[in-house]
Amino acid sequence: MPNRPMPIFPEPDTQAFWDATKERKLLYQKCNACGGVVFTPRQHCTNCGARDLQTLESKGEGTVYTYAVVRQNRQPAFADLGAYSVAYIDLDEGFRMLSTVVGVADPTQDISVGQRVKVDFEQQDDGEYLVPVFRPA
């Protein structure tokens, strides 16, 4: 896996999320005030504004909401990948995540809207954090 651009640490809102990736865990938040599901990690509920959030571990299972295939990319971190997908994944816990679907022979043919997927984690060449990606379930 190439070196993908990563957040600059320390990063107060997402540090716990990235630390959990080292243990192959996908975290999200739930508001104790209104029950809303929050992703990406932050210090307040995006539904009601409350600051009373709990952090939970996702099972990492979901469906492809939509996707696109990038066939040509000039960003150096992605240049050697060839065609790859950029996908929104609807996780079963109720949040949507931007990621990629990997483990397919041809991303132009082997990915579909509604396809079931499961999280996996890929190591970067020189990074200590794992990047959450999705594979067909």
| Through-space distance between the first and last CA atoms of the chain, rounded to whole angstroms | 21
Q: What are residue 19's phi and psi, to 5 degrees?
A: -60, -40
**Alpha carbons 115 and 1: distance in angstroms, whole number:** 23
Name the residue ranges covered by the structural domains of the chain: 15-136
Residue 131 clears pLDDT 70, i.e. is over it: yes
Examine the pLDDT at 110 and tell me if it is beyond 70.
yes
Work out the pLDDT band at 3, boundaries 50, 70, 90: low
pLDDT digit string, tens, across residues 59-97? 999 999 999 999 887 777 777 778 899 999 999 999 999
Long-range Cβ pairs for the range 95-99 (8 Å, 24+): 95/28, 95/37, 95/38, 95/39, 95/58, 96/39, 96/65, 97/39, 97/62, 97/132, 99/132, 99/133, 99/134
What pLDDT is stored for residue 80 in this prediction? Answer: 77
* Residue 49 region by backbone torsions, left for phi larger than 0, else alpha for psi between -120 and 50, else beta: left
In whole angstroms, what is the distance from residue 74 CA to residue 48 CA? 40
Give the pLDDT score at 58: 98
Note the pLDDT tens digit of each residue in 113-124: 999 999 999 987
Of the CA atoms within 13 Å of residue 20, those in its CB half-sphere come to 15
Does the global pTM surpass 0.85? yes
What pLDDT sits at residue 128?
A: 80
85 backbone φψ class: left, alpha, beta (φ>0; ψ -120 to 50): beta
